[in-house]
Structure 1
Amino acid sequence: MSICRRSAALILIRDDFKVLMLKRNNDISFGGSFAFPGGVLEETDYKLAQTDSQLILKNHSKYYCNQTYTWYDTSLIAAIRETTEETNISLDSKQLYSQIKPFIRIITPQMMKKRYDTQFFILNLNNYDTLNINKNESISYEWNTPFAFLEKYINNQISLFPPIFLQLIILKQLGSFQNIITYINQGDLLKHTYPHVFQFTNKGILNYPDPNFDLQKLLENEQTDYLKNELKIRYNQIERSDFRFQLEGNLKRLVGHIGKFQNSPLALLNGEIINDNQFTQNKPRF
């Protein structure tokens, strides 16, 4: 068990529905895998967030969880800063506050040695086909569709960590930036900034809050105080309605059983990734 470190990331998506992925340097966290620009929150992020709090509030008030609004401000600043540092794209945070939207907040499960509480944001950004990325952070970059990245992953051509894999599935299913914005702005807006904890099992990924899990055990094991308080408040009642995503790739039909919770975005139920009602031999590596 370990304490969560707060971090943030920014999904850059173009009009042609291609997203930017960086292949991380082997010597840093998540080395060798493809990920969105991002990193841990720094002291300078907290200071700038305090300065710009009213401006951020003006553009993001509907997404706030009352327990985490200062953390949300800082995450927004950190996502912009990290993206600027890693891609050398010049981003003016004050100009972007009205354009960036919160996508999903994912928390590393408790059994991992390194845990991160990461708020992912999303931004429509064009005209950056060629980048001069920071080679200390990443060894390469690629603009491609969510489906193309998923297909490469399933064919063992690239490495993805589970949170990135799940977000690519969501993006692929939504299909356009306008659909993404509609999804973000409908229903329970706070679903994007409340804790979203994944548990990895030998079958795949399960999500909290999920009736298949003992929430009390989760709370007892949680060592991050602010997170334990959020879980107590947000997940004291669990309601769920299920639906299914379908991903087609490499002439194979992959079906993930995914549930949509009232108070949480999307979760992979039971963890089975199946092909023609049978477990695939080449199922994604969780």
Structure 2
Amino acid sequence: PSPGTFGGINFGLDNNLEMKVFSRKDTTGNHEKKIKLLDGFGINGNYNLVADSFKLSTFAIYARTNLFDKLNISASGNLDPYQTDARGRRIDKLIWQQGKISLGRLTNASISMSTSFQSKDKKSKAKEQTIDSIENAQSKDAAFAAQQRQLAMVRANPGEYVDFDIPWRVDLSYSLAYTNTIIPDSGGVVKRITQYVSFNGDFSLTPKWKIGLNSGFDFTNMQIAYTNMYISRDLHCWQMSINLIPFGTFRQFSITINPKAGILRDLRINRSRQFYDL
């Protein structure tokens, strides 16, 4: 638990925003169609009744939406409701006590956008049903916990869990972060903006060979970010994957051969070389 005593009230507000438009396809007679503008937006915080000072917490605000059923957008930020003195130290006075119409000073904010494209998968419906059944299962079930761990391993090791039924796939994402920090005892303000683009994808050279790449670009430092390349080969009941991190501090090369069956995933042959071996 965090230090100190807490006895207070947690509060939050979550809402969505929709719009009705005219639609000729509506056969009910109203000719209306609902369009989601914001899937969710809200604010969270708490008030500590037993604290000696700074009873009100910072406000966490957020919003999320999906455009054209393809582009996911999410934004978040934090507002500090307390004033600061000339030397940049927080004082136990709320900003709106100055007569300002404001919830507080924006200390940090971020926005991210992501989209994906892929070719058709003949087995997509069966796979979606399997994933939905896993996500909708009860969390107390031991099988659910095991399946969740397996899904996490798939996401963390794309080279070892390749879907050969999809000829090609591309995922793109962009993130922008802003921080506004006041340096105590000086009153100076440090503002920082970071931007990052990441992309990953793969394509099939043949029905049994697949090449993939995970990488990105850091606009703040103007350099290519962590990059991972992999080649996978379908060996019927087994799968071979070659992973390469070609540059950067943690260069690595590995070859893994393992069975496809999830219950036998720990039965594998692995040969790797780390950056300190190179």
TM-score range normalised by the length of the shorter chain = under 0.3
Report the structure number with the largest CA radius of gyration: 2
TM-score by length of 1: 0.23
Higher relative contact order structure (alpha carbons within 8 Å, sequence separation ≥ 6): 1
TM-score by length of 2: 0.23
